[in-house]
């Protein structure tokens, strides 16, 4: 199936933007997974992209709704980049990050993976997340490979702290156990969080052991589509100190704050800025 995407859309930059940890290149395609849905997508030329996935290629005429929302395709990122025109650093960052989009991921997977992400390199995070999926998630067959779905809260409930430590989660193992317990007990209703405002969403997420401001903001941005949130990690803190006298430059962009933050993060980690 061939579709056209005319707005900013760069698969390599999306994969390397630090948002999601299961994106991979397979047989010339970029593979994305959310829940039990899998899509393989590759750029052909211009706005044209070829798709394959867990949907009936012969019956569908456009990108399935799940993936339209996942890639945030209703938002005009080309216009958003122009908002940074008066800020030299962010203008350069937006130019560098052109093609990045904020992915709307499964909230449970996003929560667990960003708990794991603390003080870990991206390759280590990816390896750990894949190991958890392979041990506790259900296998799914595609025409290219066998893929393991990220485990549901119920599937992950059988994991012990020792088992999770064996999968290289380290000190984060009890945090994962606590998050899984809260979701399975109903104490933390991830679906109901969609009705909360940004501030309340962050506060509820922080009730989970091991989730602080940065991880809570990442979950809000990357799974609930709260693009007004701009997580502050080590890279962003260095940018704020180096270029903005320690102040947060993203919040003035309102609902585009998180997108500007992603441009800045990608620019910092890929262009070898001296921070």
Q: Which residues are catalytic?
A: 214
CATH class of 2-75: alpha beta
Provide the token pair at 261: 């933050």
Alpha helices in 74-197 (DSSP H): 77-82, 88-96, 107-116, 122-136, 153-156, 161-166, 173-185
> Where do you find CATH 3.30.310 in the chain?
2-75
- Does the reported pTM lie above 0.85? yes
> Where do you find CATH 1.10.340.30 in the chain?
107-223
In tens digits, what is the pLDDT along the chain, a chain of 275 residues?
A: 889 999 999 999 999 999 999 999 999 999 999 999 999 999 999 999 999 876 655 445 567 888 999 999 999 999 999 999 999 999 999 999 999 999 999 999 999 999 999 988 999 999 999 999 999 999 999 999 999 999 999 999 999 999 999 999 999 999 999 999 999 999 999 999 999 999 999 999 999 999 999 999 999 999 999 999 999 999 999 999 999 999 999 999 999 999 999 999 999 999 877 77
Protein fold of 107-223: Endonuclease III; domain 1 (1.10.340)
pLDDT (tens digit, 9 = 90+) per residue, 99-114?
A: 999 999 999 999 999 9
């Amino acid at each position: 199936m061939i579709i056209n995407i005319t707005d900013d859309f760069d698969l390599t930059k999306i994969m390397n933007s630090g948002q999601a940890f299961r994106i991979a290149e397979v047989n010339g395609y970029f593979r994305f997974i959310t829940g039990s849905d899998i899509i393989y997508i590759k750029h052909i030329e211009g706005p044209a992209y070829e798709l394959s996935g867990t949907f009936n290629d012969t019956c569908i005429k456009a990108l399935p709704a799940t993936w339209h929302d996942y890639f945030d395709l209703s938002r005009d990122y080309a216009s958003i980049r122009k908002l940074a025109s008066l800020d030299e650093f962010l203008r350069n960052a937006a130019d560098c990050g052109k093609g990045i989009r904020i992915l709307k991921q499964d909230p449970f997977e996003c929560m667990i993976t960003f708990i794991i992400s603390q003080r870990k390199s991206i390759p280590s995070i990816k390896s750990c997340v894949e190991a958890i999926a392979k041990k506790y998630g259900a296998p799914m067959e595609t025409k290219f490979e066998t893929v393991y779905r990220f485990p549901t809260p119920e599937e992950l409930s059988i994991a012990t702290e020792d088992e999770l430590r064996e999968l290289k989660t380290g000190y984060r193992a009890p945090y994962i156990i606590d998050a899984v317990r809260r979701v399975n007990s109903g104490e933390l209703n991830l679906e109901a969080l969609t009705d909360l405002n940004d501030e309340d969403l962050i506060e509820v997420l922080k009730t989970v052991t091991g989730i602080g401001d940065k991880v809570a903001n990442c979950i809000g941005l990357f799974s609930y589509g709260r693009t007004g949130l701009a997580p502050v990690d080590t890279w962003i803190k260095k940018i704020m100190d180096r270029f903005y006298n320690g102040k947060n430059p993203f919040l003035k962009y309102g609902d585009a704050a998180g997108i500007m933050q992603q441009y800045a993060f990608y620019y910092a980690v890929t262009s070898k800025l001296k921070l």
